[in-house]
Amino acid sequence: MASIRRTLSPLYHDRPFDNGGAPFSPSSISSRTSKHNSAQFLSFLTATTDPKSSRRGPWRRPFYQFLAFFLIGFLLGMTPFGQIDDMNGTDRSNFEIKPPNSVKREEVGVDGVSFVAEEKKKEDFDLVVPRKLVIVVTPTYNRAMQGYYLNRVAQTLRLVEPPVLWIVVEGNAASFETSEILRKTGVMYRHLVCKRNMTSIKDRGVHQRNAALEHIELHKLDGIVYFADDDNVYSLELFQSLRQIRRFGTWPVAMLAPSKNKAILEGPVCNGSQVIGWHTNEKSKRLRRFHVDMSGFAFNSTILWDPKRWKRPFPHPTRQLDTVKEGFQETTFIEQVVADESDMEGVPPACSRILNWHLHLDALDVPYPQGWVMQKNLEAVITVR
């Protein structure tokens, strides 16, 4: 049998071996394994003892991402959005943010005449001034035209800019029909009842207005009080002008004469907003101090519950009197509110416009339908052919 002998490969001639062993001898393999384990142990000791190497870990990348996003968010938060007024470059550290509202000026020609149209500019961050509360007092009672009158006043009050409080006063008891109308108007209201017996009273409206004045004084309502009877006709401009009154305002009222064939003007004569005289056409009323209709004046409600503010302290509350003759309720009430014409304001300036009418157009001898519903049709029936 022939034998084959392999010689040692020249590849391993230059490799040193420990203790002169062969390349794949157990001694050489164990020595290499021990060296590899010792190297790993030394690298572990170096990583645990070196502080610089301990800072290098898998948390570095998330940390840098968080830092980058934080800086981007901070810069976006500090960036002003809007129109920046640089003050012509004089003060670049002062940034004033302005809203986009600006003044627009343009020339407009109408029929060959040119003029400049300018839109009003809203000032930056103006404070909103609250409007004064308008307190409208309306006495009412059951009659044929009551529903029509209340709805007419309600439709006018719906057009007035809020806040508006409508105080409707009935006698003895609150009717269901009146409550239904008030609920459907969309106007803020209070439905009051005057508990006083009205059978032996000539002017029931005096006590009904006093019930409203007691309510205003009790709850300290702050606004402008106006007595608006339900059978009068009012313009929208009247209620808009009430908020201009500081203490006591008055204006002329047009009314029909009892004969219904001419109009009578009653109220102040003004020079600007100063009252200098009075319009009156009835000789029997010339004895009155102030010639004003009940619907021709309004006053600040604080006079009722804070008279010392207006330097008019009274030992008794400000109320209308039922002991005076008809036609004198207005002047006796106004004498409790103001001293003379110097405390009054003409509305509108110069008292140049009629803002409401007192017509006295109640239908006479008309049966009052129960619940404002006619149970039967008209007596005259015509058949359709």
CATH number for the domain harbouring residue 262: 3.90.550.10
Kindly state the average pLDDT of the residues 297-310: 92
For residue 110, what pLDDT band results from cuts at 50, 70 and 90? very low
Is residue 181's pLDDT more than 90? Answer: yes
Locate 15 and state its tokens: 């490799």
Is residue 295's pLDDT more than 80? Answer: yes
Q: How many C-alpha atoms does 239 have within 13 Å on its Cβ side?
A: 25
Confirm whether 74 is domain-assigned: no
Locate 92 and state its tokens: 């670049």
309 vs 35 pLDDT, higher one = 309
Per-residue confidence (pLDDT) for residue 34, from 0 to 100 = 52
Locate 113 and state its tokens: 């005449």
| Number of H-type helices and E-type strands within the chain | 9, 16
241 vs 287 pLDDT, higher one = 241
Per-residue confidence (pLDDT) for residue 76, from 0 to 100 = 82
Q: What is the DSSP letter of 233?
A: E
Provide the number of structural domains found in the chain.
Answer: 1
119 vs 347 pLDDT, higher one = 347
Confirm whether 299 is domain-assigned: yes
330 is annotated as an active-site residue:
yes
Q: What is the pTM of this model?
A: 0.64
Q: Are 152 and 187 in contact (CB under 8 A)?
A: no
Confirm whether 59 is domain-assigned: no
Question: Could you tell me which of 225, 195, 378, 242 has the C-alpha nearest to residue 304?
Answer: 225
Question: Could you tell me which of 250, 266, 237, 252 has the C-alpha nearest to residue 346?
Answer: 250
Buried b vs exposed e over 12-47: b needs ≥16 C-beta within 10 Å?
eeeeeeeeeeeeeeeebeeeeeeeeeeeeeeeeeee
For residue 214, what pLDDT band results from cuts at 50, 70 and 90? very high
**Residue tagged active-site, from 330, 341, 345, 379:** 330
Three-state DSSP at 117 gives strand
Max CA-CA distance within the chain? 167
Q: What is the DSSP letter of 268?
A: E
CA pseudo-torsion sign 14, 20, 22, 24: negative
Confirm whether 169 is domain-assigned: yes
Per-residue confidence (pLDDT) for residue 12, from 0 to 100 = 47
Q: Are 157 and 136 in contact (CB under 8 A)?
A: yes
Mean pLDDT score of the chain: 76
Residue span of the structural domain in which 247 resides:
134-358
Is residue 132's pLDDT more than 80? Answer: yes
Which residues on adjacent β-strands are paired with residue 71? Answer: none
Instruction: Show the 3-state SS of 299-367.
Output: EECHHHHCHHHHCCCCCCCCCCCCCCCCCCHHHHHHHHHCCCHHHCEECCHHHCCCCEEECCCCCCCCC
Per-residue confidence (pLDDT) for residue 311, from 0 to 100 = 80
Burial-class residue 264 by CB neighbours within 10 Å (0-12, 13-18, 19+).
middle
d(CA 190, CA 174): 11
Query: Is 126 assigned a ligand-binding role in the annotation?
Result: no
Per-residue confidence (pLDDT) for residue 297, from 0 to 100 = 97
Confirm whether 267 is domain-assigned: yes
Pick from 44-48, 74-78, 142-146, 354-358: least confident: 44-48
Is residue 158's pLDDT more than 90? Answer: yes
Question: Could you tell me which of 310, 317, 297 has the C-alpha nearest to residue 248?
Answer: 297
Confirm whether 274 is domain-assigned: yes
Is residue 208's pLDDT more than 70? Answer: yes
119 vs 373 pLDDT, higher one = 373
Kindly state the average pLDDT of the residues 259-284: 85
Kindly state the average pLDDT of the residues 346-362: 86
Confirm whether 221 is domain-assigned: yes
Work out the end-to-end distance of the chain between its first and last CA atoms, rounded to an integer number of angstroms. Answer: 147
Confirm whether 384 is domain-assigned: no
